[in-house]
A and B are shown apart, each in its own frame.
Chain A
Amino acid sequence: MTKVLEVVDISKYYIHKTGWLPGKKICALEPISFSLERGETLAIMGETGSGKSTIAKLIAGAEVPSQGDIFLNGQRLDPHNYRQRCQHIRMIFQDALRSLNPETSVGAQLAEPLHFNTDWDQEKKTSHVVETLRKVGLLPDHYNFYPHMLSSGQQQRVCIARAIILEPQIIVADEAFVALDPSIRAQIINLMLDLQQDMGISFIFVTHSAEIVKHIADKILIMHHGRLIEFGTTEALIKNPQQELTKNLLHAESKHNVLTHSTIQE
């Protein structure tokens, strides 16, 4: 298998400046390394403030690492060349509505990346947008809709459509499922699984939900205070966690829930 993504010793420091005092250096992420293969799904878990979103943003190019390198198919990504990266790595956020432009129609928002990254004519762009809408379970009619006219699940679909329209190799999703209603969340998970199968996309996602992780992740990365404390296959981390935190994160939900109680699960 080929490594789509290789992360080598990336780290992130923030300088907190208070008044005229010299800034205090805050380490959001200590140097970490890992890699991901084509079509693979990586889950990032950890407590609040442990650096999950920082990793997501560094990979997607929304932040520049303080140190370290990221390689895509063996080629080093220039941290300042956002255009180069955004064709291949796309990000989806938790708050779908806020990450869409309220004043632009769905179709126009989806066509935008095509203006910058292709030399297609208008007709070809439109048909590609319509095709992408269909892929995420929306209709051609939605081309002329504005974000506020859509339900939260449909808004998240538009975000996914925008993420896949350039046929990227990697999608990064930061808590993209939490705000969704259960029936819609399952629809979106199914959609991600389908897209992954059809397009061979690799998928990196941040979540608190052990159940989603167990269902879709191939590998899990556990963060604690800006440090990677455990990394391995989903199976290995479930069966044989090396860290107490890993065990906690992967079993937390079931601890206090009737659905997993023995009386119910015959």
Chain B
Amino acid sequence: MNILDIRNLSIEIETSNGPVRVIDKLSLQLAEGEIHTLIGESGSGKSLLAKAILGFINPRWKITADRLWWRQYDLLALSRAQRRQITGRDMAMIFQNPGTYLDPNSTVGEQLRESIPSHDLPGNILTRRKQIQKRAEELMHRVGIKDHDAILESYPFELSDGVAQKISIAMAIAHRPKLLIADEPTTAMEPNMRSQIYRLLAKLSAGDGMSILMITQDLTAVIPESKRISLVYCGQLMETGPTEDVMREPVQPYTGAMLSTSLFSSETKPKSRLPTLTGAIPTLQHMPIGCRLGPRCPNARRACIEQPPLRSYKKHEFACHYPLIEVDSHD
């Protein structure tokens, strides 16, 4: 069952060159308890998609979708207040720089305790406070922090990036959300810390049945627990499907390029020139028409000035007129 169902979501933003679809007919489904990794280079609209799901939207943006459903709710049909309520209850998000949104003036403990919902706790103020403290310590253990006393007493600037990110995860899961969106949570972190954070997220999802939308720039950050991935480029969905299938048999030229450019292939000879896309990522003001990969795509031909529809191949879906693999089209 899909807990999150997005079909053909578009977000239009006003630029100096007129309105631009920053997100262009993007579809994404997330099942309960699933980890789904969204991969895209900068400007592909990853953070904007996260904001659209959470409802943190600028009223001037034009948002349209065939479907934007969270559980049984049609999010686009809800009022702002209703959406805020659902987001607050069911969803949470962590960001790239945890330091920037932790309050520098209060201790980690104060901030963590504040994020624990207290209204449904039994007892009087005193017993509640005890329960909250206990829950705070429990959350610290869950995110793998053992010396909780010291950390709870410290201020955010005293923490390393990794610990700060763990705290932000503890705060995010304090109200037991059903969906966690992790927006590039480990970019610029050292690899050891990076895998610790990813392992932690995977454990949380497995333990609580929490769904996680993992957002990253880079195929190298996809963890084995992420059973599905989607690749986006300049706001358009390029390919989506089960992680293993997509990686073993990429259909879309963008997926192919991202795979061969990430240095993990055992065939990469040291000092050889890496295969990669030519050219630069277009700016918002100069989006190509049709398939936005066009100017950088090795397979591009004239038909690519029309945006290709989403088609399926085995268990993946992809959007491309000239895929890497011959695909029967029965549509």
A residues sitting closer than 8 Å to B (CB atoms) are 47-48, 151-154, 178-179, 181-187, 189-190, 193-194, 208-212, 214-216, 234, 248-249, 252-261, 263-266
* 18 residue pairs bridging A and B, Cβ less than 8 Å apart: A154-B280, A179-B188, A181-B217, A182-B217, A182-B218, A183-B276, A183-B281, A186-B275, A190-B274, A208-B191, A215-B263, A215-B268, A253-B195, A256-B195, A258-B224, A258-B243, A259-B262, A265-B266
Question: What residues of B have a CB within 8 angstroms of the CB of A256 in the complex?
Answer: 194-195, 198-199, 223-224
A184-B281, A248-B192 known; A214-B226 Cβ under 8 A: no
With A151-B280, A258-B247: A186-B195 Cβ-Cβ less than 8 Å? no
Closest to B276 in A: A186
* A264–B244 CB distance below 8 A: yes
Q: Given contacts A193-B273, A216-B271, are A152 and B247 in contact (CB under 8 A)?
A: no
- Cα separation A47 to B194 with both chains bound (whole Å): 12
Decide: B191 and A253 in contact? CB cutoff 8 A. Answer: yes
**B261, CB-defined interface residue at 8 Å:** yes
Q: In the complex, what distance in Å separates the CA atom of A79 from the CA atom of B76? A: 64
Bound-state CA distance A259–B39 (Å) is 14
Interface size on B, residues (CB 8 A): 46
Smallest CB separation, A249 vs chain B (Å) = 7
The verdict on A249 contacting B191 (CB below 8 Å), with A154-B280, A182-B262 known, is yes
Chain A residues near B274: list those with CB within 8 A.
186, 189-190, 215
A48 in contact with B190 (CB, 8 Å): yes
Q: Is B54 an interface residue (CB 8 A)?
A: no
Q: List, in ascending order, chain A residues with CB within 8 A of B188's CB.
A: 178-179
Contacts A182-B262, A256-B199 hold; do A264 and B248 have CB atoms under 8 A apart? yes
Distance between A175 CB and nearest chain B CB, rounded to angstroms: 9
Q: A152-B42, A248-B192 are in contact. Are A183 and B268 (CB under 8 A)?
A: no
Q: What is the chain A residue whose CB lies nearest that of B199?
A: A256
Q: How far apart are A183's CB and chain B's nearest CB, in angstroms?
A: 4
With contacts A48-B190, A181-B42, A257-B221 known, what are 7 further pairs, Cβ within 8 A? Answer: A179-B188, A182-B262, A194-B273, A252-B192, A253-B195, A256-B224, A264-B244
B9 at the interface (CB under 8 A from A): no
B280 touches A184 (CB 8 A): yes
Closest to A179 in B: B188
Interface members, chain B 245-282 (any A CB < 8 Å) = 247-248, 257-259, 261-266, 268, 270-271, 273-278, 280-281
Q: Does B329 contact A (CB under 8 A)?
A: no
A193 cross-chain contacts in B, Cβ below 8 A: 271, 273
**CB contact between B264 and one of A216, A255, A260 (< 8 Å): that residue:** A260
B180 on the A face (CB < 8 A): no
Chain A neighbourhood of B100, CB < 8 A: none
Chain A residue at minimal CB-CB distance from B195 = A256
Whether A183 contacts B191 by the Cβ 8 Å rule is: no
> How near does chain A come to B26, taking the closest CB pair, in angstroms?
19
Tell me which residues across on chain B come within 8 A of A185, comparing CB atoms. 261
| Min CB gap B139→A, angstroms | 23
CB-defined contacts of B257 to chain A, threshold 8 Å: 183
Report how far A151 CA is from B42 CA in the complex, Å.
11
Provide the residues of chain B in CB contact with A265, threshold 8 Å: 264-266
CA distance A73 to B22 in the complex (A): 53
Kindly state whether residue B213 has any CB partner on chain A within 8 Å: no
Asked whether A190 and B276 contact (CB < 8 A) given A48-B190, A181-B41, A211-B220, the answer is yes
Whether the Cβ atoms of B191 and A258 lie closer than 8 Å is no
A252 CA / B264 CA spacing, docked (Å): 13
> How far does the Cβ of A231 sit from chain B's closest Cβ, in whole Å?
19
Decide yes or no whether B283 CB sits under 8 A from chain A: yes
Query: B179 within 8 Å of A by Cβ?
Result: no
Q: Which B residues are in CB contact (< 8 Å) with A212?
A: 263
Check if B222 is an interface residue, CB within 8 A of chain A. Answer: yes
B160 interfacial contact with A, CB 8 Å: yes
Q: Give the chain A neighbours of B226 by CB distance below 8 A.
A: 258
Q: Are B198 and A186 in contact (CB under 8 A)?
A: no
Measured in the bound complex, the distance between the Cα atoms of B258 and A255 in whole Å is 20
Annotate B27-47 by CB proximity to A: 1 below 8 A, 0 otherwise.
000000000000001100000
Complex: chain A residue closest to B223, CB-CB: A256
> Which residues of the other chain, A, contact B167 by a CB distance below 8 angstroms?
none
Q: A261, B224: Cβ atoms under 8 Å? A: yes
Residue among B41, B275, B283 facing the most chain A CB atoms (10 A cut-off):
B41
